[in-house]
């Protein structure tokens, strides 16, 4: 039973390029969350998605960032025209449903983005 | 809004020393509380959790008790090992609605032989 998969694990981009980060949730999970961890800081919530829907994007910058979770395939976090300040570790988490209050999120290994 | 405050690190201990990492939270209702651990270069792993007042979460010798009266969830271990060296995050999810996790800033623990 594979856990949450993220790829690539490491991504290097030059300023102005696009970064695409992929997340495959655990089997049977329909809820995906993206978090960003800046160097020496904790994780900050970015966006919460269900299949084909963005539920909460309150933590995502208004410009250059977008996320999707299509009916088929992984969730994608897309950063256009990257800047050095986007350098961070981006973590994806998934959960099965909201039906139980005790609802753990399972985290992927993260994608470490470096912008040169 | 919800928030989590944990003691700043780094914390440096000798092997077999007693560990306490303080964590307090601000939230309405009855959130669920978590401790996550992040080993160097890796993602987060759930260490333990508690979902209601007075619950004690425990795992791998670590434990934490959900204290509603003091809004705290301090992490303790009686005898740390070098392999416990990592960053520890206290976190909560709200009592209603979807489960957006609010994290503390993390406490780096270094255990020396």
Q: Residue B98 is nearest to which of A42, A48, A102, comparing CB atoms?
A: A48
Choose among B51, B93, B103: nearest Cβ to A43: B103
Q: What is the pLDDT of residue A102?
A: 53
Q: Check if the beta carbon of residue B5 is closer than 8 Å to that of residue B24.
A: yes
Query: Chain A interface, mutation test: which of B39, B43, B103, most A Cβ atoms within 10 Å?
Result: B43
Residues in B touching A88 (Cβ below 8 Å): none
- Among candidate residues B112, B92, B113, B109, the one with its CA nearest the CA of residue B39: B109
- pLDDT tens digit sequence for B4-25: 999 888 999 999 999 999 999 9
Closest-approach residue (CA) in chain A for B88: A42
CB contact under 8 Å between B32 and A101, yes or no, is yes
pLDDT at A1: 54
A59 neighbors A33 (Cβ within 8 angstroms) = no
Residue A44 with chain B: CB contacts under 8 Å: 103
- Asked if A110 and A81 count as a contact pair (C-beta separation under 8 A), the reply is no
Residues 73 through 102 of chain A touching chain B, CB cutoff 8 Å: 91, 93, 95, 98, 101-102
Q: Which of A105, A111, A114 to mutate to test the interface with B (most CBs of B within 10 A)?
A: A105
Comparing alpha-carbon positions, the chain B residue that sits nearest to A98 is B98
Enumerate residue ranges in chain A where pLDDT < 50. Answer: none
Q: Does A110 touch chain B (CB under 8 A)?
A: yes
pLDDT at B97: 59
CB A56 within 8 Å of CB A48 = yes
Q: What is the pLDDT of residue A98?
A: 60
- CA dihedral of A7, A2, A100, B88, whole degrees rounded to 10: -60
3-state secondary structure string, chain B?
Answer: CCEEEECCCCEEEECCCCEEECEEEECCCCCEEEEEEECCCCCEEEEEEECCCCCEEEECCEEEECECCCCECCEEECCCCHHHCEEEEEEEECCCCCCCCEECCCEEEEEEC
Q: What is the pLDDT of residues A30-52, one digit of tens each?
A: 899 999 998 877 889 999 999 88
What pLDDT score was predicted for residue A100?
Answer: 53
- Ranges of residues in chain B with a pLDDT under 50 are none
Instruction: Name the closest residue on chain A to residue B94, using Cα atoms.
Output: A101
Contact B98 A91 (CB under 8 A): no
The pLDDT, as a whole number, for residue B95 is 74
């Amino acid at each position: 039973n594979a856990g949450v998969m993220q790829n690539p694990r490491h991504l290097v981009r030059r300023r102005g390029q696009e970064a695409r980060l992929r997340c495959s949730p655990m089997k049977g999970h329909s809820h995906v969350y993206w978090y960003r961890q800046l160097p020496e800081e904790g994780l900050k919530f970015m966006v919460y998605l269900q299949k084909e829907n963005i539920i909460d994007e309150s933590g995502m910058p208004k410009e250059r960032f977008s996320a999707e979770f299509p009916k088929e395939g992984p969730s994608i976090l897309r950063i256009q025209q990257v800047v050095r300040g986007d350098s961070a570790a981006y973590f994806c988490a998934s959960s099965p449903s909201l039906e139980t209050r005790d609802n753990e999120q399972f985290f992927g290994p993260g994608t470490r983005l470096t912008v040169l | 809004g919800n928030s989590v405050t944990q003691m700043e690190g780094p914390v440096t201990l000798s092997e077999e020393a007693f560990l306490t990492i303080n964590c307090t939270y601000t939230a309405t209702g009855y959130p669920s509380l978590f401790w996550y651990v992040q080993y160097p270069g890796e993602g987060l792993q759930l260490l333990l959790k508690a979902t209601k007042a007075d619950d004690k979460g425990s795992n791998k010798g670590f434990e934490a008790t959900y204290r509603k009266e003091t809004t705290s969830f301090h992490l303790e271990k009686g005898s740390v090992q070098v392999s416990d060296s990592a960053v520890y995050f206290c976190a909560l999810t709200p009592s209603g609605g979807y489960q957006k996790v609010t994290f503390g800033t993390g406490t780096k623990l270094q255990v020396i032989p």
